[in-house]
């Protein structure tokens, strides 16, 4: 069975879209992380330096997963 160009283009678009569903988890995780940090700051404002540092580090790790999903989606669209 031969695939024409429009079918391949549509399959790439669907695959890239499904890959970007991997951004949902990090988005929720970052929201929960910031919520916890703001609650902790409200309870103990003196620990703001340590809380902020740990929050930024956690956001960076969660955002890395979203960036991996973006890279895979771009590879599907432009390389395969």
Sequence-distant (6+) residues with CB within 8 A of 44 are 51
Structural domains in the chain plus CATH codes: 23-78 (1.20.20.10)
Instruction: Please list the pLDDT of the chain residue by residue as tens digits (80 residues).
Output: 567 788 888 889 999 989 888 899 999 999 999 999 999 999 999 999 999 999 999 999 999 999 999 999 999 989 88
Cβ atoms of residues 77 and 13 within 8 Å: yes
**Residue whose token pair is 């955002």:** 63
pLDDT at 1: 59
Here the tokens at position 45 are 């404002």
């Amino acid at each position: 069975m031969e695939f024409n160009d429009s079918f391949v283009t549509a399959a790439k678009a669907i695959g890239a879209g499904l890959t970007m569903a991997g951004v949902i988890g990090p988005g929720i995780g970052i929201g929960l992380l910031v919520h916890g940090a703001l609650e902790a700051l409200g309870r103990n404002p003196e620990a703001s330096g340590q809380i902020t540092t740990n929050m930024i580090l956690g956001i960076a790790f969660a955002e890395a997963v979203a960036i991996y999903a973006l890279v895979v989606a771009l590879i599907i669209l432009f390389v395969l």
